[in-house]
């Protein structure tokens, strides 16, 4: 009676199973040698007589022979306690050079062994699931979880290049696990269907993003010895960051116009837009969620959510409860500082004519806009911008933000202009200027200048002649110095000066903090002395609370100044002096506190701390 092929396969598998079970029983009874002894036997030292006496099946012998061809220590698994599938998992582990001792216990099924081997090959910590208590399915879930965690942290081995023993087909997965390639060697004579290739890819856990068209090409065109992409993963996407949609103009004409004669016209420069009371000035657009990606092996890669911005700070506006919509509290100039997230609506004082000693001083908590000029002995102080449409002579001007002078300044050595922001004007003659921002104009003649940022003379006829100038961020002009022996002194990137400022600010902050704490302590004593009900009406208590509030604002302001100084320090380290046309002889130059007098006429000068002191400046 003949037995068909399917029955032969079934009988063979049953016999193998019974053989393995008997081996496990012997192992449990202590009749077999413990498998954890290493068993590292060199391929050429295999005792074939002993192996033949074991009565192994053909499939088991084939695994041993294949290991010998691959120069593996087959003595580790050439034992009758393993079926051929278990042998294959140990052989594959040896081929991958992982520690097979972790899973060579014959009580593991071949599927369990596979899950542990795949984890080891991916450099995972398999100790959490390499346990007989877990089924192969449990192990699969735990391994996939570890893979996802490992991938998200950017650790583990992902690039693979493998040749399949059964088919000879090569598989390659790239480093980020987002692409998989297949190459069928020319000596593989058999043909494959698309379904066979898909099953083959699944064997190596390539299950996502299969490229059906390329698989069809491999089958129909019988492509050989050429690597074809067969799977493409999906990269994770980062969601859009939250942002503020501004409902006013920011791209205003902030740069001056260069006239045909080389001068710069500051007439049309606008420092800020104007808004009306109740006008919506900003809306917050929330961040978006990121989109997840998937590797070709089916690992989900979490997309990053966009970043949200904190609520806006500043003054002169109101916001809804969720800080989504902001509107102006009153009519005024509006400004937005994106790095700090500060929005301000400055209440504006408008002076239609000139300001002089007869008209009286202008002191205003907001922006001051003067339609005329400002003359000797006048004082203009504003917590916001100071905008002057005309000219300035010997006056005292102070601004909590920018100073914009559309005409120019000729102070004859009198008065001073100070700004917490920028100072911009047509020209500046014999005046003292101090700004935390940049100072810009057509030309500067015999001025005493101190700026935390840059001093910039714009236009083809831009000049800096005479005066003492300290510009931590650098100096830019067409011409620096002159032949009339007006002494010009330039200092840029002075780290000692920055250190001194930082010391003063830290000292002031420490003092203000101590005074605030003393006032707070005094307030608590008043509450204890008079009681909660009575103390509210006490004038000393009220003055104390106001003083605490003032000191708190002072502390915040000093902290902001220290933060600003840190940014200035970074700019000062890269400070340069640039004279696009000429740097005249006799200019005293200091870069980073080291002084040197220029002896030669230098054209197109670009001086840095690395070239100026060594005499490598560009002389043309």
The alpha carbon of residue 430 and the mean position of all alpha carbons in its chain are separated, in whole angstroms, by 45
Question: Which of 241, 257, 190 lies closest to 219, judged by CA?
Answer: 190
pTM: 0.49
Helix (H, G, I), strand (E, B) or coil at 401: coil
Indicate if the alpha-carbon torsion angle 85, 91, 92, 93 is positive or negative.
positive
Indicate if the alpha-carbon torsion angle 460, 466, 467, 470 is positive or negative.
positive
Q: Which two tokens stand for residue 230?
A: 């067969």
Residue 505 is classified by DSSP as: H
Helix (H, G, I), strand (E, B) or coil at 185: coil
Q: Which helix (H) or strand (E) holds 543?
A: helix 539-572
Average pLDDT per block of 10 residues along the chain, 620 residues long:
44 49 44 38 58 82 88 90 93 91 93 91 89 90 85 71 84 88 90 90 90 92 91 92 86 57 56 78 93 89 90 91 89 80 83 82 84 90 91 93 93 91 94 94 94 90 92 93 82 86 91 92 84 76 85 89 85 88 91 85 86 49
Q: Which helix (H) or strand (E) holds 60?
A: helix 58-69
Cβ–Cβ under 8 Å, residues 225 and 185: yes
Cβ–Cβ under 8 Å, residues 85 and 58: no
Q: What is the structure's pLDDT at 14?
A: 47
How far apart CA 509 and CA 300 sit, in angstroms, is 50
How far apart CA 446 and CA 452 sit, in angstroms, is 19
Q: What is the structure's pLDDT at 70?
A: 87
Backbone angles phi, psi at 24, to 5 degrees: -70, -35
**Concatenated DSSP letters for 235-258?**
--BPPPPPEEEESS--S---SPEE
Per-residue CA distances from 148 to 61, 122, 172, 404, 602 (Å): 38, 11, 20, 58, 63
How far apart CA 387 and CA 422 sit, in angstroms, is 12
How far apart CA 141 and CA 497 sit, in angstroms, is 63
Q: Which residues pair with 160 in a beta bridge?
A: 173
The alpha carbon of residue 569 and the mean position of all alpha carbons in its chain are separated, in whole angstroms, by 21
Q: What is the structure's pLDDT at 485?
A: 63
Give tens-digit pLDDT for 389-446: 999 998 999 999 999 999 899 998 888 999 999 999 999 999 999 999 999 999 999 9
């Amino acid at each position: 009676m003949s037995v068909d092929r399917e029955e032969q396969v079934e009988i063979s598998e049953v016999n193998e199973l019974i053989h393995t079970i008997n081996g496990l029983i012997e192992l449990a009874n202590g009749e077999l040698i413990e498998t954890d002894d290493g068993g590292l036997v060199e391929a050429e030292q295999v005792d074939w007589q002993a192996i033949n006496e074991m009565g192994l099946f053909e499939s088991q012998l084939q695994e041993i022979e294949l290991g010998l061809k691959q120069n593996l220590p087959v003595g580790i698994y050439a034992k009758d306690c393993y079926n051929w599938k278990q042998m294959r998992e140990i052989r594959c582990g040896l081929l991958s050079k992982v520690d097979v001792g972790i899973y060579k216990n014959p009580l593991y099924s071949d599927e369990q062994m596979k899950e542990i081997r795949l984890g080891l090959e991916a450099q995972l910590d398999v100790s959490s699931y390499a346990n007989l208590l877990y089924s192969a399915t449990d192990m699969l879930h735990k391994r996939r979880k570890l893979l996802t965690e490992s991938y998200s942290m950017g650790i583990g081995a992902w690039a693979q290049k493998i040749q399949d023993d059964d088919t000879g087909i090569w598989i390659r997965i790239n480093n980020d696990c987002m692409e998989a390639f297949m190459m069928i060697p020319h000596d593989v004579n058999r043909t494959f269907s698309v379904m066979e290739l898909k099953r083959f890819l699944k064997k190596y856990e390539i299950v996502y993003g299969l490229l059906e068209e390329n698989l069809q090409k491999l089958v129909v065109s019988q492509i050989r010895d050429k690597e074809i992409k067969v799977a493409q993963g999906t990269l994770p996407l980062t969601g859009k960051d939250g942002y503020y949609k501004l409902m006013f103009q920011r791209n205003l004409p902030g740069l001056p116009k260069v006239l045909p004669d080389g001068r710069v016209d500051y007439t049309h420069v606008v420092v800020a837009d104007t808004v009306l009371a109740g006008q919506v000035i900003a809306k917050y657009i929330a961040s978006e969620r990121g989109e997840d990606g998937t590797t070709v092996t089916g690992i989900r890669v979490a997309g990053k959510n966009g970043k949200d911005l904190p609520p806006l700070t500043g003054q002169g506006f109101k916001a809804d409860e969720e800080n989504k919509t902001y509107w102006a509290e009153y009519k005024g100039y509006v400004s937005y500082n994106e790095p700090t997230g500060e929005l301000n609506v400055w209440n504006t004082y408008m002076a239609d004519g000139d300001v002089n000693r007869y008209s009286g001083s202008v002191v205003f908590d907001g922006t001051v806009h003067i339609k005329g000029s400002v003359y000797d002995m006048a004082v203009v102080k504003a917590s916001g911008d100071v905008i002057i449409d005309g000219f300035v002579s010997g006056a005292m001007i102070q601004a909590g933000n920018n100073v914009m002078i559309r005409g120019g300044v000729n102070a004859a050595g009198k008065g001073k202009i100070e700004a917490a922001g920028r100072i911009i004007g047509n020209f500046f003659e014999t005046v003292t200027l101090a700004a935390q921002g940049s100072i810009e104009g057509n030309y500067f003649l015999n001025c005493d200048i101190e700026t935390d940022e840059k001093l910039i003379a714009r236009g083809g006829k831009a000049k800096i002649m005479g005066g003492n100038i300290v510009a931590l961020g650098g100096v830019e002009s067409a011409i620096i110095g002159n032949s009339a022996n007006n002494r010009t002194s330039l200092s840029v990137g002075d780290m000692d000066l920055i250190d001194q400022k930082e010391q003063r600010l830290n000292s002031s902050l420490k003092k203000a903090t101590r005074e605030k704490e003393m006032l707070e302590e005094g307030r608590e004593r008043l509450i204890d002395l008079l009681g909660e009900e009575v103390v509210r009406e006490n004038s000393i208590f009220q003055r104390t609370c106001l003083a605490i509030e003032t000191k708190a604002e002072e502390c915040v302001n000093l902290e902001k100044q220290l933060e600003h100084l840190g940014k200035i320090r970074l700019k000062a380290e890269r400070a340069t002096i640039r004279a696009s046309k000429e740097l005249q002889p006799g200019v005293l130059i200091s870069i980073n506190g080291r002084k040197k007098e220029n002896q030669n006429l230098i054209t197109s000068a670009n001086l840095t701390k690395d070239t100026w002191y060594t005499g490598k400046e560009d002389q043309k």
